[in-house]
Structure 1
Amino acid sequence: MTEMLAARRSRLWQVTTPADLAAWVFRAPAPSPLDPVPGVVDGDWTAGLDETGRQAWALAGWVARTVVPEAAGTAGRYWILSHLDDAAPAVLRLTVGMLEILGLYETGEGVWLRSHAAPILSAIEAGAIDPQEWERRGIDLADDRTRTLAEDKVLLTCPDLATARWLLRQPPVIAGVRLLSCWVAAGPYSFEGRYRPEVVARAWQASQLLDGDGLDALTGGGDGFDRPYTGVTTAGDLPAQRSFDADTYRAGVDEHDRLCRALIAHLSRSDLTAGAGLAGVNVDVAWRDADGRRFIAEVKSVVGGNEVEQLRLGLGQVLEYRYRLAARGVAVAAVLLVSRCTDPVWPAICAGSGVLLLTGEEEPAWRAKLMTAAVGQICRDRWPVRLGESAC
């Protein structure tokens, strides 16, 4: 990559070197320092924006600070950020060199991102990217046929800001966008006349919302979840080769959705907002309580004679999710919610692993049990214990 970049004749080499730039492509996705700000912020420019609008500006600024080489010193010379407020809805566009790298609606209803294809395709081939996970999140990966580097880049589209933030936590994506940005930044640039420093300064300032150690801010974890819960539906026609009972499968999906919505509605009656996913882990339901403690719930529908199977599967999943979150520095209280449980030993089995078991049949008791689980989480946080010892 150093040799490839060195072959480019560019004013960019006045502020950095091809070798430094090549190394930067693969570093962790830390943004450029906030100071100096490349422009002057023009008063309280956020007054007319709602929270989604502020988050859209924050994402645009964070991406510019993260994927543009030497971003603070090259604004207006190698890249610009445009605010197309005459469009409906308004659009933010990050242009590096001759290429639009990022575009998003101020309403947060869509984000598109251009990346060099090689890091992403290599990661897919190596198993570091799961295309099915991308599909579940609504991320589309397509060939990009704009003329600049037409054969070497891909177009990534996301349905919302939270999904885009999740995508930008994936190292191959950051490497791909940085690689493309380096290549085009070292080429011709003719947009200096369109540069509006106040637009860059606004986004630069807004991007502070996504700074810090990153997990909470960049994945929506500050709310206790990554994205709103939208439910799951099944296609009208299921594959003929599947050996399960299609009606039972559909009933299970519907029951899972009913339980998720029942839990979210129950929490909302205590003024708590719940969603799906936390810190990039695909949990069914996640939320914060009034004291800021995080909870995750794995939800399992019990339909027909699958009660034991679902309890075993659900307990394993919620333990996995809790472990993955702990590895990222996110402590949670774990909940397993099932339609019903007829075996009286299962609450003790779950409690032995520090998991609260709830059933759909006992919703009036959920609030008290969740409060008990919160107290137990405080004890585990304050007094770590060895396996087999009592936490409190």
Structure 2
Amino acid sequence: MHGEICDGWVRALRGQTLCFTGRVLIDGEWIVRKCCEETAHQLGANCKSDFSRRITVVVHGDLASQAVTDKQRQYSKKLVGAARERDRGYHICVVDGDGFADLIEGYPALCRKLQRAQGRDDHVYVLPRPGDGILGGPLQRQRVGHHETDALALDLSRLDKGTEAHEATVAALIDYLAREQVEARGHARNAPRFDAGWSRGDEVFIAEVKSLTGTSEDQQIRLGIGQILDYAHQLQPTHGRINPVLVLERQPMNPRWISLAEANGIRLTWAPDFAGC
């Protein structure tokens, strides 16, 4: 999205007109602007070397989700121009190197928020967001298919029930968070593949969702506990404290799972109320 409307995401390169502030840091490797432009062209984008209102996306390659206090995050003239256009009511999207890499791989990229340096009209900073490098694009509801009913389809039918229950729980979680004015998001491109994530203030939550329909409740909960602890452990060395959440289709029959989850630092919650999310 660009112009007067932006929902916070750049969803694809195709049809965009890009300009780059210089080389771009992509997954730890610096890529020169010419190569970035060639890749963007191959994916249906146009590129311009100068800044104008024809630009829909500015790629700030030196950002790469570093700390906002880093003086290298000062914007070039192109990014100052983007900030000025925003001030005038014309929104130009800004993505960092991670966002450009996401777009190349078919993931949506977060449109970065800008802030002017106090007392300076020619220095603008990008604001970090809780969950950078952890949370990906908006979480989407999935449609569930059905198998034909016959003598060989009994197990598949049970699997469908479990899948439907899983997706219904995910959908209910999305709706609950939306009512709380919190955006449910998927995993970032290079993050563990958790089912859902969100942020509240500076806190980041990642969740594994488990259905309890047509399967062993104990087995599902054990599996979910192991998965979400593993995901949080993978993220902590580089991202600090993460809040792991196990989301169930319904309240478990055995209350011992509540104390077990609490003892391991996991928030255990379930539909439809999702207490503690």
The yes-or-no answer on 1:314 pairing with 2:224 is yes
Q: What is the alpha-carbon distance in structure 1 between the residues aligned to residue 256 and residue 48 of structure 2?
A: 66
Cα offset for 1:345?
0.7
Q: Is the contact made by 2:24 and 2:61 (CA closer than 8 Å) also made in structure 1?
A: no
Partner of 1:41: none
TM-score relative to the length of structure 1:
0.44
Q: Is the contact made by 1:54 and 1:206 (CA closer than 8 Å) also made in structure 2?
A: no
Distance 1:352 1:70, change over 3 A: closer
Partner of 1:95: 38
More helix by share: 1
The yes-or-no answer on 1:253 pairing with 2:163 is yes
Which is worse superposed, 331-340 or 350-359?
A: 331-340
How many corresponding residue pairs? 209
Q: Is the contact made by 1:64 and 1:71 (CA closer than 8 Å) also made in structure 2?
A: yes
The yes-or-no answer on 1:71 pairing with 2:32 is yes
Q: Is the contact made by 1:252 and 1:301 (CA closer than 8 Å) also made in structure 2?
A: yes
Q: 1:353 aligns with which of 244, 264, 268?
A: 264
The residue type paired with residue 293 of structure 1 is E
Q: What is the alpha-carbon distance in structure 1 between the residues aligned to residue 214 and residue 156 of structure 2?
A: 13
Partner of 1:61: 20
Q: What is the alpha-carbon distance in structure 1 between the residues aligned to residue 22 and residue 170 of structure 2?
A: 33
Q: What is the alpha-carbon distance in structure 2 between the residues aligned to residue 197 and residue 272 of structure 1?
A: 37
The residue type paired with residue 65 of structure 1 is V
Q: Deviations over 1:321-379 (max 9, x none)?
A: 10111133243111111123011111011111100111225x1xx34x33xxxxxxxxx
Q: What is the alpha-carbon distance in structure 2 between the residues aligned to residue 216 and residue 223 of structure 1?
A: 17
Partner of 1:171: none
Greater gyration radius: 1
The yes-or-no answer on 1:207 pairing with 2:60 is yes
Alignment partner of 1:222: what SS? Answer: coil
Partner of 1:198: 50
TM-score relative to the length of structure 2:
0.59
Q: What is the alpha-carbon distance in structure 2 between the residues aligned to residue 69 and residue 268 of structure 1?
A: 38
Task: Give identity over the alignment, percent.
Answer: 19
- Could you tell me which runs of 5 or more consecutive residues in structure 1 were left unpaired when the two chains were aligned: 1-45, 73-78, 82-93, 107-194, 371-392
The yes-or-no answer on 1:298 pairing with 2:194 is no
- Could you tell me which runs of 5 or more consecutive residues in structure 2 were left unpaired when the two chains were aligned: 68-95, 103-109, 111-127
Q: Is the contact made by 1:59 and 1:207 (CA closer than 8 Å) also made in structure 2?
A: no
The yes-or-no answer on 1:342 pairing with 2:261 is no
Distance 1:356 1:249, change over 3 A: same
Cα offset for 1:236?
4.3
Distance 1:101 1:328, change over 3 A: farther
Cα offset for 1:259?
0.8
Q: Is the contact made by 1:58 and 1:207 (CA closer than 8 Å) also made in structure 2?
A: no
The residue type paired with residue 352 of structure 1 is A
Q: Is the contact made by 1:58 and 1:206 (CA closer than 8 Å) also made in structure 2?
A: no
Q: Is the contact made by 2:211 and 2:220 (CA closer than 8 Å) also made in structure 1?
A: yes
Alignment partner of 2:141: what SS? Answer: coil
Q: What is the alpha-carbon distance in structure 2 between the residues aligned to residue 359 and residue 250 of structure 1?
A: 20
Cα offset for 1:284?
0.6
Q: What is the alpha-carbon distance in structure 2 between the residues aligned to residue 274 and residue 250 of structure 1?
A: 24
Q: Is the contact made by 1:58 and 1:209 (CA closer than 8 Å) also made in structure 2?
A: no
Q: What is the alpha-carbon distance in structure 2 between the residues aligned to residue 351 and residue 65 of structure 1?
A: 43
The residue type paired with residue 43 of structure 2 is G
Q: What is the alpha-carbon distance in structure 2 between the residues aligned to residue 348 and residue 70 of structure 1?
A: 49
The residue type paired with residue 234 of structure 2 is R
Distance 1:358 1:229, change over 3 A: same
Q: What is the alpha-carbon distance in structure 1 between the residues aligned to residue 25 and residue 196 of structure 2?
A: 30
Q: Is the contact made by 2:197 and 2:206 (CA closer than 8 Å) also made in structure 1?
A: yes
Q: What is the alpha-carbon distance in structure 2 between the residues aligned to residue 54 and residue 309 of structure 1?
A: 37
Partner of 2:237: 327
